C-alpha cells in the first residue's frame, strides 16, 4: 500500500503575453498623446511669471526661427495648424480675411484676438514687425508665453 503524499501542484499565472499587451498599450497612448497636442509646430516660448487664458477661440500665428539658416528668410510663418509656412506678404491678407469673417455687427467693440507664438530666438525687431501688421489692421495681438517654473 502506497501511503506517500503526492506532490501538490502550485497554481501559475502565464505572463508571457503580458509583454505584448503592454507594448501595444504604450504604443496606443504615445500615438494618442501626439495627436492630442493642438500645437504641432514645436518652438520654445519665452518665459513669464504670470499667464492668463483667452475665452474666445483665437487665431494662432506661429513665427518660427530656423537656426540652420541665419538669413531673414529663415523665419517661417504659420497660421493655426497649417504645416506649410506662409510668406510674410500673405500673412496680412490672411489676417484681413479672418478679421472680416470674425466681425460681429451687433458688437463692433469685440475685436478678433490673434495669439502670437513667437520663438524665443527671434529679435525684438522681428516681433515688432509681426505685431505691426496686427496694429495696422486693428487686430488685438496677444503674446503666448510659458509660465516660468520659479
pLDDT, tens only, 131-141: 888 888 888 88
Residue 127 included in any domain: yes
Q: How many CB atoms lie within 10 A of CB 116?
A: 19
Residue 138 included in any domain: yes
Q: How many CB atoms lie within 10 A of CB 134?
A: 22
**What pTM was computed for the model?**
0.56
pLDDT at 25: 93
pLDDT at 79: 87
Locate 135 and state its grid cell. Answer: 496694429
Residue 95 included in any domain: yes
Residue 137 included in any domain: yes
CA distance 114 to 61: 7
Q: How many domains does the chain fold into? A: 1
CATH number of the domain where residue 88 is located = 3.30.420.270
58 in Cβ contact with 142 (< 8 Å): yes
pLDDT at 59: 83
Q: Could you list the residue range(s) of the whole structural domain that residue 115 is in?
A: 47-147
> Dihedral (C-alpha) 87, 113, 81, 55: value to the nearest 10 degrees?
170
User: Where do runs of H (alpha helix) occur along the chain?
Assistant: 18-36, 88-102, 124-137
According to DSSP, residue 72 is labeled G
Low-confidence ranges of the chain (pLDDT < 70): 1-2, 34-42, 51-57, 67-73, 103-111, 148-150
* Measured CA angle at 127 (ends 123, 133), to 5 deg: 150
Amino acid at each position: 500500500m502506497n501511503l506517500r503524499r503526492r506532490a501538490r501542484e502550485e497554481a501559475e499565472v502565464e505572463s508571457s503575453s503580458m509583454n505584448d499587451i503592454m507594448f501595444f498599450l504604450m504604443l496606443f497612448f504615445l500615438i494618442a498623446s501626439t495627436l492630442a497636442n493642438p500645437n504641432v509646430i514645436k518652438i520654445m516660448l519665452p518665459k513669464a511669471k504670470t499667464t492668463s487664458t483667452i475665452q474666445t477661440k483665437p487665431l494662432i500665428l506661429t513665427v518660427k526661427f530656423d537656426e540652420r539658416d541665419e538669413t531673414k528668410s529663415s523665419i517661417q510663418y504659420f497660421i493655426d495648424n497649417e504645416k506649410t509656412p506662409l510668406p510674410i506678404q500673405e500673412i496680412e491678407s490672411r489676417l484681413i480675411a479672418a478679421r472680416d469673417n470674425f466681425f460681429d455687427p451687433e458688437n463692433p467693440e469685440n475685436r478678433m484676438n490673434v495669439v502670437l507664438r513667437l520663438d524665443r530666438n527671434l529679435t525684438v525687431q522681428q516681433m515688432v514687425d509681426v505685431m505691426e501688421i496686427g496694429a495696422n489692421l486693428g487686430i488685438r495681438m496677444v503674446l503666448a508665453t510659458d509660465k516660468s517654473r520659479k
